[in-house]
Structure 1
Amino acid sequence: MDYVRGKVIETPVQVLCIGPTRKVVETPIQCSTEAFYKFFKKQAKLLPSVCGAVVHTIGLADGNRSWVNTVGSRKVIEILSADSTSDTAEKFKYVVEAVDDRSRKITYKLLEGSLLQLYDSFTVTLQVTTGNTAKWTVEYVKKNPSNEDPDFYLDLFRTINATVDIYLRSN
């Protein structure tokens, strides 16, 4: 409110609230749904050897000693960079927010990395469905409405799904 010559003038304030946006990538898998889920829950350390073109490295973070994804476990991953002019990797630190073995679902929340320059929050959920589908859901809140959607990363999930599926069928 402003005071002008003894009068109260209400100044409208425009508040821009940007809510979370959700995008989903679903791909069919031919391997066992249990094997696919188990791979991401207990064997994520194999990602660089299984799909090294996308996942360059993965490591335990903040004192974690187990590769099993449990609530609160933290890891650091280096993946192919979204910068199309570069063949470099981007490093991200994430925490496992939720694990639901019954519905074969794991939720990861980004803690550090370049994406947090564009988004206030960035959460990824993997769910392996009984219909032999691997579904990645990305939920994010843009810091600025003009920031791009993270479609590049959704494409990476498609590639990871296909590569892990092939690996699990042959091993």
Structure 2
Amino acid sequence: MRAAALVAAAVCGLAAVHIVAGTPGVLALAAGLAVLGLLAALARIPAAPPSRPAALRTRDEPDELREYPSYRRVREAVSWAPVSARHYDSVTRPLLVRLVAAALAERHGVDVHREPARARELVGEDVWPLVDPGRPGSGGPSAPGPGLADLRTVVNRLEELWTDD
């Protein structure tokens, strides 16, 4: 409804300008409307977060941790997860699923893909939706991903899965 009103106003404005200023006026107004449309679209793009959210930053990260590329990949995947559900579904969740699957297989003898009910029981009802390998992706580019508190819960549960017998 709002978009239709804007289009109608733009057409009326173009017609009025054509009557008053002719073709050059229409071209100038059309260019101005295009710029306004681009600015409106730009305003809807979410801002990028800092490289790592402050809640996940460690002040004195040991030098030896910086040398582990796997650690850096996990850290980056988790730190960007709250920004976008699409990022979480395409990058972070597959990583967490692999980690959960490894913990369940090695420490509990459970195959997450063949025994999803048992895996869900061990992982917990609160965490399972975040690491369920069968869950379809959200697909929404502008929807936020899970919050830092949820991600901390997943990481804590992973640690528990590795240490429980």
Larger Rg: 2
Q: When you count strand as a share of all residues, which structure comes out higher?
A: 1
Q: When you count helix as a share of all residues, which structure comes out higher?
A: 2
Higher RCO, 1 vs 2 (CA within 8 Å, ≥6 residues apart): 1
What's the TM-score once normalised by structure 2's chain length? Answer: 0.35
